[in-house]
Amino acid sequence: MIIFNLILVKVLIKLRTDNCKNMNSFTHVPPGFRFHPTDEELVDYYLRKKIASKRIDLDVIKDIDLYKIEPWDLQELCRIGAEEQNEWYFFSHKDKKYPTGTRTNRATKAGFWKATGRDKAIYLKHSLIGMRKTLVFYQGRAPNGQKSDWIMHEYRLETNENAPSQASLSP
């Protein structure tokens, strides 16, 4: 079974996006278009359609291999339109650390993504539809990595068999 996650990466500092090497790498959208989906829309529309191999009307979320790309290279690959951005959305396969294990590999050549805080439950009409995990990028290798300003929100679709019990969720 192929597992997709929808990823939002943002940086807390303002980046210069005028130095992109490949200007054809951004998605062409109508003038004035802004992409600011809610957590519910990301999970229930975009991620659900991606997992079901259904067409998404406007192709604004690219497929990338998160573990082969450093966060500072995302602006070049995942831009939407020509305006400056500090958030990028993309789909990525979930990469296991070990072939038979359940742990996720979140390492890149230059560092690693480390989970922080609790996962946030995402509800639609009082029904659990997904979870959002927050991660921070550290340069270097664990446990001595240097914390950066890069933050990632990883969204996953919840199904009945892997949903946490209602008692452990905080709405």
In this prediction the pTM is: 0.74
Cα three-residue angle 88-150-38, rounded to 5 degrees: 40
pLDDT for position 17? 34
Whose tokens are 């305006």? That residue is 83
Residue 1 clears pLDDT 60, i.e. is over it: no
- Residue 132 is which amino acid? R
Domains in the chain: ranges and CATH: 4-168 (2.170.150.80)
Q: What is the pLDDT of residue 78?
A: 59
Per-residue pLDDT averaged across 68-78, rounded?
78
* Euclidean distance between CA atoms 31 and 62, whole angstroms: 19
Query: pLDDT tier at 12 (50, 70, 90 boundaries)?
Result: very low
> Each residue of 145-163: pLDDT tens digit?
999 988 889 898 887 544 4
Amino acid (one-letter) located at 169: L
Closest CA to 88 of 145, 20, 147, 31: 20
List CB contacts of 12: < 8 A, sequence separation 6 or more: 149, 151
Number of residues that make up the chain: 171
